[in-house]
């Protein structure tokens, strides 16, 4: 395991899951993701801040600042005087200068992060799951393809633990989300990478700490089963093999490079339901 800065990690030439997962869509999508990194959206920035608050609370306090309410900055008649609006702007500018170089959070975002962080701290299983080394970089070589791989693991206790947010953390809903977003592939990739790095042999299979992103800020901890890891392993190995093949041929096709049969949903071809009255149109 290695502790690298964000810049050092980004400069390390190796395949990470954030890029590899796009191969599940198509090689074209993978290439596009390399050339066009995902833009920093408010949601992504909030997720990064949340991870930092939960996994590195000391770093969070050094890196982030909560912007106070400086009042109305506009000098519109009936809203505030020109003098007051100017004073508010100057106070805001001074505050920004004093916190130059820090990531700025709004009071609303700060409250959301505080609620989710408190929910994790109040959940014994979740707190135990992230009690080990956090934000650890693992570097390894995939045995089947020879590709250099890397991963930044949220937490390592007796095994890999990853923190996710979700609107609904109930078993059925989160299980659907885990399949949709290929969490099993990601966790199998990290689990095997931890073993391949020769740093430790996990005593347990990976855990997922799911945090509800809205009130009541529920938390659930899910442990992957051996069949989940095996399915995830088959997934990431298939993606790595496809990456090697596409690299060798320098061919990066989209989802349908040849003619494919159209896949209509079952309800659309069911004779009993595929009936429309004239007034439907």
**pLDDT for residue 86:** 82
Instruction: Answer yes or no: is 278 within a domain.
Output: no
Residues 220, 82 share a domain: no
CATH number at residue 188: 3.90.320.10
Q: Which two tokens stand for residue 189?
A: 């990739």
Do the domain assignments include residue 144?
yes
Residues 81 and 174 occupy one common structural domain: no
Same structural domain, 136 and 62: no
Instruction: Please check whether residues 187 and 231 belong to one and the same domain.
Output: yes
- Percent of the chain having pLDDT more than 70? 93
Residue 177 and residue 78 share a domain: no
Instruction: Report yes or no on 255 lying in a domain.
Output: no
Is residue 150, in this structure, part of any structural domain at all? yes
Is-contact 28 252, C-beta < 8 A? yes
75 and 204 inside one domain: no
Give the model confidence (pLDDT) of 130-182 as tens digits.
Answer: 998 999 999 999 999 999 999 999 999 999 999 999 999 999 999 999 999 99
Looking at the structure, do residues 50 and 178 belong to the same domain, yes or no? no
Burial of 79 (0-12, 13-18, 19+ CB in 10 A): exposed
In the chain the first and final C-alpha atoms are separated, in Å, by 62
3-class secondary structure per residue, 99-145 = CCCCEEECHHHHHHHHHHHHHHHCCHHHHHHCCCEEEEEEEEECCCC
> Do 151 and 169 belong to one domain?
yes
Q: For residue 79, what pLDDT band results from cuts at 50, 70 and 90?
A: low
Question: Is residue 57 one of the residues assigned to a domain?
Answer: yes
Tell me which residue range forms the domain holding 44: 40-107
Same domain, 29 and 54: no
- Indicate if 67 and 205 belong to the same structural domain: no
Residue 117 lies in a domain: no
My answer on whether 145 and 236 are in the same domain is: yes
Which backbone phi and psi does 209 adopt, to 5 degrees?
A: -95, 110
Nearest alpha carbon to residue 191 among 146, 156, 220: 156
Tokens representing 259 are 């003619």
Q: Are residues 55 and 157 in the same domain?
A: no
With cut-offs at 50, 70 and 90, classify the pLDDT of residue 57.
very high
Total domain count for the chain?
2
Residue 227 lies in a domain: yes
For the four alpha carbons of 42, 47, 50 and 55, in that order, the dihedral sign comes to negative
- 263 located within any domain: no
CB 194 within 8 A of CB 200: yes
């Amino acid at each position: 395991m290695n502790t690298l800065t964000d810049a050092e990690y980004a400069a390390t030439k190796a395949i990470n899951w954030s890029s590899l997962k796009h191969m599940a869509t198509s090689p074209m999508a993978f290439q596009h993701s390399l050339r066009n990194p995902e833009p920093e959206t408010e949601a992504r920035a909030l997720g990064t801040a949340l991870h930092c608050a939960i996994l590195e609370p000391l770093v969070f306090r050094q890196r982030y600042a909560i912007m106070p309410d400086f009042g109305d900055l506009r000098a519109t008649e009936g809203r505030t005087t020109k003098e007051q609006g100017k004073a508010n702007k100057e106070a805001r500018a001074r505050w920004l200068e004093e916190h130059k170089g820090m990531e700025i959070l709004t009071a609303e975002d700060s409250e959301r992060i505080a609620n989710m962080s408190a929910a994790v701290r109040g959940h014994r299983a979740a707190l135990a799951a992230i009690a080990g080394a956090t934000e650890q970089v693992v570097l390894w070589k995939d045995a089947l393809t020879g590709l250099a791989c890397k991963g930044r693991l949220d937490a390592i206790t007796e095994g890999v633990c990853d923190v996710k947010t979700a609107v609904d953390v109930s078993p059925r809903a989160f299980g659907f989300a885990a399949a949709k977003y290929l969490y099993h592939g990601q966790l199998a990739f990290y689990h095997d990478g931890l073993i391949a790095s020769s740093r430790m042999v996990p005593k347990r299979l990976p855990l997922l700490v799911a945090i509800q992103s809205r009130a009541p800020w529920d938390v659930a901890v899910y442990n992957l089963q051996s069949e989940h890891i095996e399915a995830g392993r088959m997934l990431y190995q298939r993606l790595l093999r496809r990456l090697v093949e596409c690299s060798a041929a320098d061919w990066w096709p989209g989802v349908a490079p040849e003619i494919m049969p159209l896949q209509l949903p079952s309800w659309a071809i069911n004779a009993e339901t595929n009936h429309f009255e004239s007034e439907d149109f």
